[in-house]
Amino acid sequence: MTVRDFLTTLRQRWRLVLATMLVVVAATALATLQTRPIYESSTRVYLLANNQSDSANVYNMPAAELATVIQVATSPIVLDPVREQLGVAPGTMLNVSAERSGDTPLLDVRVRAHDAQVAADAATAVPQQLAAVARNFSPMLATSGQSVSAETIVPASVPNRPIEPDPVRNLALGALAGLLLGVAFAVARQALDQRVREVRDIDALSDRPVLSSVPYRKDDDPHALYLDIDPFGPQAEAVRRLRTNMMFVDVTTGKHSFVVSSTLPGEGKTTTAINLALAMSDAGTKVLLMDADLRHPSVATNMGLEGAVGLTTVLLGDAELEDVVQRWGGTNLHVLASGETPPNPSELLGSTKMQDLFDRLSEDYDFILVDTPPVLPVTDAMVIEKLTGGMLLIVASGETRKRHLSEALRTLETTETHIAGFVLTKSPPQPSAYYNYYNGDDAPTRPEGARKRRRRPSRRDRRMQASRPHAEAAARARADRARLTESSEGLEFRARSRRRIDERADQS
């Protein structure tokens, strides 16, 4: 993982990092509140022998005997009498430590307890008790017959705050540990994530180009016609970019026809096919959108057209092609619905009649888009791709799994299916200013600060502002034509289709 990948992971999964850090901090705060406080009191004393001489001083003892006396300070021989003297229960915490203060003959005694007064009293009593028993552990003192007393240099005081727990330190360490743990979770989840989320994930699996990324549209019909609903929105711009790239790809194939498919259902292939056909027809191209998904057809339903007759009706010879092709909204877009669902879709699409029909359609239309079933469940898309210039494979960001895409690519490679390119649908939306750059009121186009000056519109901005009303008027006119067609030609087409269905039923 590169630094860029790491930063991208943190940007995409910052909620996981933040949630983990908050959980750890909350757990640390709860543990801190439940921890019983510990107080520490210390004293510094000087041990000396009664009627002392230089040879009788404790600190003139050999180092081994002095170390033994210091170790006795933490033993029950000293602590039990201290507990009894202070009236402390045997199980009560009383942690004592003693050490020499540097190279001086002074002894530092520290006592920790759950009660501040007990800690101070114990720090005063321990040196005295140690002096009382020190003679028993020093052969020099035992031989001389001298006793030991403890002279206080620094008296013990009652602490005003506990040394443990330290809330500030604990919360800081908890936040740091939570942050590191959250980052580890984010990196691990990214490494274990098996969903395609961005263009680089597709590039890692195939050398074919990603022709466009269509942003996800929130709170809207998943089968929306972007070109009509929001002609200047990010989805419409993405489809227009796809149209331009498809024109370049078409130069290399020369067949002016492509299959639109996906790895699994629900990835947006039908929506992409419809909007791409609309975008191509807006450019003045005579386009045919064919619904070859004979198992679960949805083009006619999404566009509000009659789907009872169509491709299967023509292949069976029950209708002429001119009778079933529907013109959408008075535009250059023509739609060939699927018709009735046959029991053998793959055989029907791979038949000689289908090839003859496609050759005829290729002569009548400038461009043909074929909506087919997904690649993994059935082989219909690979069968009909042989008649076209390639396949446009739809991949849904955050939904398509990498293993499914890899399996689909292996299947397409086995059947020698040519992939013209990919379209990443449902991708994260770009900032609104990226698409609305022609809007002079956009905040990013105006400088920050106390003195704000309106940016002078550029020639490109003025051209976009001038073209916007015309584009909106064109979209409204197209919608009006669609409603007009629905009310006149649509009704006539439905009646004609119903008559042919009835005639076929009578003949059978």
The pLDDT tens digits of the residues spanning 131-141 come to 888 777 777 66
Residues 28 and 69 in one domain: no
| Spatial distance between the Cα atoms of 128 and 126, rounded to a whole number of angstroms | 5
What pLDDT does residue 70 have? 81
Q: What is the CATH number of the domain that holds 363?
A: 3.40.50.300
Question: Within this chain, do residues 478 and 502 fall inside the same structural domain, yes or no?
Answer: yes
Percent of the chain at pLDDT > 90 equals 39
Residue 17 lies in a domain: yes
Kindly state whether residue 164 falls inside one of the protein's structural domains.
no
Whole-number average pLDDT of the chain: 81
Q: What is the pLDDT of residues 59-103, one digit of tens each?
A: 455 566 667 778 888 888 888 888 888 888 887 888 888 888 777
Same domain, 243 and 352: yes
How far is residue 113's CA from residue 162's CA, in Å, rounded to a whole number? Answer: 10
Distance CA 51, CA 418 (A): 107
* 419 shares a domain with 312: yes
Contact in structure between 397 and 423 (CB atoms under 8 Å): no
- Residue with more model confidence, 216 or 24: 24
Q: Are residues 398 and 436 in the same domain?
A: yes
Task: Determine the average pLDDT of the residues in 268-288.
Answer: 92
Residue 170 maps to a domain: no
Q: What is the pLDDT of residues 348-390, one digit of tens each?
A: 999 999 999 999 999 999 999 999 999 999 999 999 999 999 9
As a dihedral over the C-alpha atoms of residue 152, residue 156, residue 157, residue 161, rounded to 10 degrees, the angle is 160
**Do residue 128 and residue 263 come from a single domain?**
no
Rounded distance between C-alpha atoms, residue 416 and residue 385, angstroms: 10
Most confident stretch, 228-242, 323-337, 401-415, 420-434: 401-415
For residue 150, name the pLDDT band (cuts at 50, 70, 90): confident
pLDDT at 233 over 90: no
Tell whether 452 is covered by a domain.
no
Q: What is the pLDDT of residue 331?
A: 84
Q: How far is 229 from 216, CA to CA, in rounded Å?
A: 14
Domain presence at residue 165: no
Tokens at 23, concatenated? 């959980």
Instruction: Please report which confidence band the pLDDT of residue 146 belongs to, taking 50, 70 and 90 as the band edges.
Output: low
318 and 274 share one domain = yes
**Which of 144, 162, 192 delimits the end of a domain?**
192
* CATH number of the domain that residue 98 is part of: 3.30.70.1130
Q: Which amino acid is at 45?
A: V
Residues 6 or more apart from 3 whose CB is under 8 A from it?
A: none
Would residue 221 count as lying in a domain? yes
Domain range spanning residue 29?
3-35+176-192
| 167 is a domain residue | no
Number of structural domains (the chain) is: 3
Residues 93 and 188 in one domain: no
Indicate whether 31 and 43 sit together in one domain: no
What counts of helices (H) and strands (E) characterise the chain? Answer: 21, 12
Whether residue 285 has pLDDT greater than 80? yes
The residue that leads in pLDDT, 189 or 173, is 173
Together in a domain, 111 and 233: no
Do 481 and 392 share a domain, yes or no? yes
Cβ atoms of residues 314 and 361 within 8 Å:
no
Given a contact cutoff of 8 angstroms between Cβ atoms, the answer to whether 230 and 397 are in contact is no
Check pLDDT > 70 for residue 38: yes
Reading the block at residue 81, the tokens are 């009498």
Q: Is the pLDDT of residue 493 over 90?
A: no
Q: Other CB atoms closer than 10 Å to residue 393's CB: what's the count?
A: 30
pLDDT, position 507: 61
Give the pLDDT of residue 421: 93
> Has residue 396 been placed in a domain?
yes
Q: Are residues 303 and 353 in the same domain?
A: yes
Q: Which residues contact 266 (CB under 8 A, 6 or more apart)?
A: 396, 399
Indicate the pairing of strand 107-113 with strand 257-262.
unpaired
Longest Cα separation, the chain: 136
What are the tokens at 269? 């292939």
pLDDT band at 172 (very low <50, low <70, confident <90, very high): very high
